[in-house]
Amino acid sequence: MGSGFPPEAPFVLVEKLKGAMRLAAVSRAALELGFGPGLSLADARARLPDLGVADLDRRADTAWLERIADGCDRYTPMVALDPPDGLILDISGCVHLFGGEAALRGDLVARLERLGMTVLSAIADTPDAAHALARYSPNPPYRAAMGRGTVEGGGGVSPTMANAGGEVAKPIHHAAHGPPPHALHREDLSRLPVEALELDPEEAVALRRAGLRRLGDLSSRPSQILAARFGDVASERLARVAGGCDIRITPRRAEPALRLERRFAEPIGRTEAAFAAIAELLGEAVRRMEEAHHGGRRFEAQLFRTDGLVRSLRVETGLPVRDVALVMRLFDERLDTLADPVDPGFGFDLVRLSVPRCEPLAPLQLPLEGGALAEDELAQLLDRLSTRLGRNRVRRLGPRDSHIPEQAVFAFPAIEGGPAEDWPAPEPGEPPLRPTHLFDPPQPIEVVAGVPDGPPQRFRWRQQLHEVTLAEGPERIGSLWWRRADNGGLARDYYRVEDRLGRRFWLFRHGLYGREAVNPAWYIHGLFA
Amino acid sequence: MNESRNTLAALRSRIGAIEGPKPSPAERFALGLPSLDAQLGGGLPRGRLHELFAAGAGDRAALAGAGLMLAMRLGEGPLLWLRQDSAVRAGGRLYGPGLADLGFDPARLIEVVAPDEAGLLRAAGDAVRCAQVAAVLIEPWKAARGFDLTVSRRLSVAAEKSGVTVLLLRAEAEPGPSAAYSRWQVRSLASAAFEAGAPGHPAVEIILLRHRGGLAGLRACLEWNREEHVFREAALSGTGFPLSAGRPAGAGDQDGCGPEQLGERLSA
């Protein structure tokens, strides 16, 4: 965020569409000057030469939306993205924690506006209704956006929101609790334009030509007529938007096995203090897991800042654990390795600990003769190294049934447990046929070899000439021609060679001389001990 | 003369106190070549730091192979191989089938790749303290100035405490001051050819550069016997081959392969 333009100056975000630079989003100031999405940049510049222009960065927008969604985890675990610029929150059952729907919505909007977002929000009975209300209300409240372009396209065409934090919140009211269904929302919904159904543009035009301009015009008529003329899609969209049909959202994250949180009356500004609270929550989580005979494999600490951003730290263990000190040590390791340290900002007002993955773990029994339980020492070492370096940097090797050398082995994180398969034993009496070190990809070398398929006599690798004294080969390894659309791929002729200084190499000729390649290239693929 | 002898004895006892107790024969692991083991007093001690230096830039694979073979002599148990990103890029990644071809069970291997030297050092410090590990192989990249006397002292103290044997593999590096128990130089050796001029079993030449027990100048040409996990004396290289195809002149005496004193070579 933060595009370097003063908030009051008009600026636009542009994107290349069909070979022309067109406005994708405009700031409020630009909107008031009459610019809108879809206008070509050349036209816009002609009207206002000192217009601020920046490229639209959809990836950054998505990342920002994800961050906001993380922050919304404080309200409800059921948060879903509504790309490109919306979020849907299922707030059923969460409202009372915040003192009612209006209070929740106010809190959310206030936090986001503090971040410089322009927020359009709606609360409705179904996700689709909330989506339509937030995006297609005839008179959306405009608010100034800082640093980010926000726009609502005017006119009769379907409004486009780009780069806005369009917040769509919705409760699902069950019969057992909550206020009665919103008569007011029904009315609002019926006043929405037919574009809110998000049908094909031609169909929306056809509806308008038929004199059906608002959802109310449609819902007052029998749905068969609509289905006969515009298809099942239109009647289904209408049912979903008008609230007759309720499709649940798919939350971004699965519900963790265990979740504990603590709210602070006053924001706390020190990360250490926040982690002390996490340690207390962890103690509680350990007690609960002990009762269930469970141990955690993954732990996540979330620190929610008052301004709505959230910082998550995740750690993972190879074996299920129930040890507060151990997990806190892993969190410390993770804190040490962060590229950008945790910034408390104006303080954290909520910390949460979740255990997304639990596995059975029998109660521990200390040995009668005393002494520590040392058998997990290696697992703890691997947890620590994996947390510090990253799980893919601490790995084991497993065999794979493939004759392609680079695919005959796979590396997997050591934290995922021991190897499943045994390695095939080598043929007794044979020298090693495979190198101890493999280059991936193979490195090209210059080779002098007999034509058509003689072994290499000398080769140059890394600017050094090697005289071959011993050579064995070729071991021909065909390509996976059945996997390739063109039935192609070159065969490789492998040679084990030794040079004058006793160094052993694994070389191959790529392609059969004369048949597959005119002048086959040579590569070094590995080194023998 | 007497005075100086007394001073010498006093100094020796003081140094002995600093060095700590000498490892007993039970804590040693034999290399499997009787003549070499006899000269080493029964092999190399476990739970110590041993340094292996590659003779040249091209001996990196031989160095890694020798380190792995020594680790196999230590017996069963998980083996941690700590490497550095740049070493993986330049030297290739560890290849399971090839390790299995040396008689090693790749399921024992845990490969740790650190992004830089500091990360490698820290990981090594942690790994050496874990008594469940059978051996730790540390492979820093080139000069690796971080591996100084202090670090090697710290590693060897931790190794003595936990009983983990640490093998430091140094390629393209100059031997510096260190607290390692022994220091070897490893060079790849022409193998005894198989039929039709095929390269044979892996062979290395090792030279003892330094030893806490005062030995120096041991030199041996070793061939790895995969089936028995044991070193044996390398057959004379170049059998059936012209001698010029063996070592270049000055790289070592062809006929003198086997453990022998090379005091003059080191003093030179």
Contacts of B189 (CB under 8 A, 6+ apart): A502, B62, B203, B204, B205, B221, B222, B234, B237
pLDDT band at B183 (very low <50, low <70, confident <90, very high): very high
- Does B59 contact A at CB distance below 8 Å? yes
Determine, for residues A396 and B107 on separate chains, whether the beta-carbon distance falls below 8 Å.
Answer: yes
Q: Is the separation of the CB atoms in A499 and A528 below 8 Å?
A: no
Domain assignment present for B69: yes
From the CA of B16, how many Å to the nearest CA of chain A? 33
How many structural domains is chain B composed of?
Answer: 1
Q: B199 vs A411: CB contact, 8 Å cut-off? A: no
Residues, chain A: 529
Kindly tell me if the per-residue pLDDT of A65 is higher than 80. yes
Q: CB–CB of A48/A10 below 8 Å?
A: yes
Neighbours of A429 (CB within 10 A): 9
If asked whether residues A82 and A231 sit together in one domain, one would say yes
pLDDT of B262: 41
Q: Are A512 and A442 found together in one domain?
A: yes
Q: Which chain B residues are closer than 8 Å to A419 by Cβ? A: 107
Would the CB atoms of B194 and A472 count as touching at under 8 Å? yes
Same structural domain, A15 and A41: yes
Residues 328-387 (A) with a CB less than 8 A from some CB of B: 374-375, 377-378, 381-382, 384-385
Put simply, the answer to whether A528 touches B97 (Cβ < 8 Å) is no
Residue B96: give its domain's CATH number: 3.40.50.300
Provide the β-strand partners of residue B233. Answer: B222
Q: Answer yes or no: do B109 and A502 touch at CB < 8 A.
A: no
Are A305 and A445 in a shared domain? no
Contact B198 A414 (CB under 8 A): no
Looking at CA atoms only, how far is residue A270 from chain B in angstroms?
27
CA distance A59 to chain B (A): 27
* Domain presence at residue A422: no
Mean pLDDT across the stretch A231-254?
80
Domain boundary among A241, A267, A297: A241
The strands making up A165-170's β-sheet, listed across from edge to edge, are: A79-82, A86-90, A165-170, A119-120
Q: How many CB pairs under 8 A join A and B?
A: 213
Separation in Å, CA of A333 to nearest CA in chain B: 12
Q: How many domains does chain A have?
A: 4
Contacts of A503 in chain B (CB under 8 A): 58-59, 61-62, 188
Question: Among partner residues B69, B130, B197, which is closest to A378 by beta-carbon distance?
Answer: B130
Q: Which of A377, A388, A472 lies at the smallest CB-CB distance from B130?
A: A377
What confidence score (pLDDT) does residue B248 get? 42
Contact A517/B at CB under 8 A: no
Q: Report the run of H or E that residue A289 belongs to, with start and end.
A: helix A271-291
CB-CB under 8 Å, B94 with A437: yes
Question: Is A79 in the same domain as A223?
Answer: yes
Residues of chain B contacting residue A527, judged by C-beta atoms under 8 Å apart: 60-61, 91-92
Per the domain annotation, does A155 fall within a domain?
yes
Contact B199 A435 (CB under 8 A): no
The reply to whether residue B199 touches residue A414, judged by beta carbons under 8 angstroms, is: no
pLDDT at position A64 is 87
Has residue A330 been placed in a domain?
A: yes
Q: How far is B143 from chain A (nearest CA, A)?
A: 20
* pLDDT of A153 above 70: no
Q: Among A468-472, A487-491, B138-142, whose mean pLDDT is lowest? A: A487-491
Q: Does A405 touch chain B (CB under 8 A)?
A: yes
pLDDT tens-place string over residues A398-419: 898 888 898 889 889 988 876 6
Same domain, A45 and A93: no
Candidate ranges A371-375, A386-390, A517-521, B18-22; pick with highest mean pLDDT:
A386-390
Asked whether the beta carbons of residue A526 and residue B111 sit closer than 8 angstroms, the reply is no
CB atoms within 10 A of CB A342: 15
DSSP state of B195: G
> What is the domain range of residue A47?
11-56
Q: What chain B residue is nearest to A425 in terms of C-alpha separation?
A: B100
In a domain, B74, yes or no: yes
Q: Chain B window 215-254: which residues touch A at a Cβ cutoff of 8 Å?
A: 224, 226-227, 237, 241, 245-248, 251
* Cα A187 from Cα A291, distance rounded (Å): 51
pLDDT at position B66 is 94
B155 in a domain, yes or no? yes
- A223 and A268 both lie in a single domain: no
**Cross-chain Cβ contact A436/B102 below 8 Å:** yes
Is residue A4 helix, strand or coil? coil
Q: Give the tokens for residue B134.
A: 């059978």
- pLDDT value for A159: 26
Judge contact between A528 and B101, C-beta under 8 A: no
Please tell me if residue B91 touches chain A, with a CB cutoff of 8 Å.
yes
Q: Could you tell me if residue B4 is inside a domain? A: no
Which residues share a beta bridge with A132?
Answer: none
Distances in Å between the Cα of A523 and the Cα atoms of A443, A454, B38 are: 5, 15, 44
- Whether residue A217 is found in the same domain as residue A326: no
Instruction: Say yes or no for a CB contact (<8 Å) between B126 and A397.
Output: no
Pairwise CB contact (< 8 Å): A431 & B199: yes
CB atoms within 10 A of CB A107: 15
Q: Given a cut of 70, is residue A173 above it in pLDDT?
A: no
A427 interface with B at CB cutoff 8 Å: no
- CA angle, A448 then A449 then A450, to 5°: 140
- pLDDT at position A38 is 84
A397 lies in a domain? no
Residue B172 counted as domain residue: yes
Quote the domain boundaries for residue B150: 26-238
CB contact under 8 A, A399 and B96: yes
| Tens digits of residue pLDDT in A306-360 | 887 888 899 988 888 888 888 999 999 888 888 788 888 888 989 999 998 888 8
Q: pLDDT tens for residues B155-173?
A: 999 999 999 999 999 988 8
Contact of B11 with chain A, judged by CB distance below 8 Å, is answered with no
Q: Are B107 and A432 a contacting pair at CB < 8 A?
A: no
Q: Are A301 and A382 in a shared domain?
A: yes
- Mean pLDDT across chain B, nearest whole number? 83
Banded pLDDT at A218 (limits 50, 70, 90)? confident
Q: Give every CB contact of residue A255 below 8 A, 6+ residues apart in sequence.
A: A77
B95 lies in some domain: yes
Residue A68 maps to a domain: no
The answer to whether residue B14 is domain-embedded is no
Do A195 and A232 lie in one domain? The reply is yes
User: A236: which residues sit within 8 A by CB, 6+ positions away?
Assistant: A245
Q: Residue A190's CB: how many other CB atoms inside 10 A?
A: 15
Distance from CA of A527 to the nearest CA of B (A): 6
> Do A311 and A265 belong together in one domain?
yes
Same domain, A469 and A353: no
Mean pLDDT on A435-460: 90
Q: Which residue has the higher pLDDT, A484 or B122?
A: B122
pLDDT tens-digit series, residues A100-139: 888 888 888 888 888 878 888 888 888 888 888 888 876 6
| Touching A: B residues 156-185, CB under 8 Å | none
Average pLDDT over residues B3-27: 76
Q: If you average pLDDT over residues A298-312, what whole number do you get?
A: 88
Tokens (6 digits) for A65: 């939306």
**Residue B105 falls within a domain, yes or no?**
yes
**Tens-place pLDDT, residues B63-102:** 999 999 999 999 888 999 999 998 888 889 999 999 999 9
Q: Please name the member of B107, B191, B198 whose beta carbon is closest to the beta carbon of A502.
A: B191
What is the rounded distance in angstroms from the CA atom of residue B69 to the CA atom of residue B78? 14
B99 touches chain A (CB under 8 A): yes
Q: Does the pLDDT value for residue B193 go beyond 80?
A: yes
